[in-house]
Chain A
C-alpha cells in the first residue's frame, strides 16, 4: 500500500515527530511504501481562494512544495495526519496543506483511509474534541474510511512521550495499516 504521512510540527524532534517516526517504522516493516511530508519544513503558500485551479482543472497559481505533494495525495491509499495540538487544533502549517487540497479534491475523494495522530501537553480529554470534529467532517466530505486516532495527551515534552506507550501504539498502527 502507498502510505503518505503529513506532519505539522515545527519541531524536528518533538513529540509528534516521534509518533510519525514510529508509525513509519511499523509501516515499512509491514512492507508498505511510505512518503513523508513535513509541512513546517516545506514551502506551502496558504490558499488564497482565487479558484483558478478550478478544483482540479488547472494547476495552483503558486509554484511551491504542493507541486510535489499533489501526486502523492492522489496516489496514496492511506493518509496519516500527525500534528501537535496548538490551541485545540492542528498546527497552522498542516492546516495550510489541507487548505490546498482544493487543487486535487475530486481526485482524492473516496477509496482512501485516513488516520489522525496528535500530541498535547494537556491531559484533558476535551482538548482534542475540536480536531476530532474537524477530522470527522473531513472524512465524511472526502468519503474516506476512518483508520483510527492516536491521541497522545499529557505529552508536553519529548521525555513525556518517550516514557509512554504512545510510540509503541504508533508503531503497531503502522504495522497494521494494511488491514
Chain B
C-alpha cells in the first residue's frame, strides 16, 4: 500500500488548499494517507542551528509536530504540498515546511539527501486569485524540486488561478479534474 503525505499550509479552514488535500485524500482511499494541516499543528521556523547536519538519519532539536512528522516524510512514497500564493510566492507556512526538510540534507549523499527511500513523487499545488500566471508556473516548477531533499525524483506542479474566495476552486471543473488526475499519478 502506497504511503502518501498530504500537506495543507493554508491558515484557512475550508480554503482552497484544504479542498485540494481533501479531494486527493478521498480519491486515495486505497492508500495509506496522512493529512497534515499546518494550521492545526505546531510548526516553528527552522533556526538553522545545524544540529541536524552530518547525520545519517533525520534529527531535529525542535520539539513540535513537524519533528514528529520527519519519519513519515522519510518513509512516504509521495508528498503533496498545497499552498496559497501570498505575495507572488508560497505562504510563510509552506516555506516553514520546506525549510524544515534540512535534517535530510547530506552533502555527500545521493541528491544531497540522507533519506532511506528514493524514487518518491512530489507535487506542489498553488492556488491564488490573480497575478502573473506565467511567473507563478515557472516559480512552482522550480520550487517543487526542493522535494528532491526528501527523496523525490518525480515532480509535478499545478497553479490554480482565478479563485478569489475560500473553496472557490470547487467552481472550476477543470481544476478538480486535474486533481483527480494527480491522485491517479500519486497512486500509480
Contact = CB atoms under 8 A, between A and B. Distances in A.
Contacts of A130: 139, 142-143
B139 A49 contact: no
Contacts, number: 105
B45 A91 contact: yes
6 contacts: A10-B49, A46-B93, A47-B86, A93-B45, A95-B91, A129-B142
Contacts of B64: none
A86 B98 CA distance: 9
Contact of A137 (B15, B88, B101): B88
B95 interface: yes
Nearest to A130: B142
B146 interface: yes
Interface stretch (B25-33, B114-122, B130-138): B130-138
- Do most interface residues of chain B lie in helix, strand or loop, or is the interface mixed? mixed
Contact of B46 (A86, A88, A101): A86
B48 A48 contact: no
A87 B131 CA distance: 23
Interface string A96-111: 1011010000000000
Interface string B130-165: 011001001100110110010000000000000000
Interface residues of B, number: 34
B99 A101 contact: no
A98 B48 contact: no
Contacts of A84: 48
Interface in B8-35: 10-12, 15
Contact of B95 (A9, A40, A92, A129): A92
Contacts of A129: 142
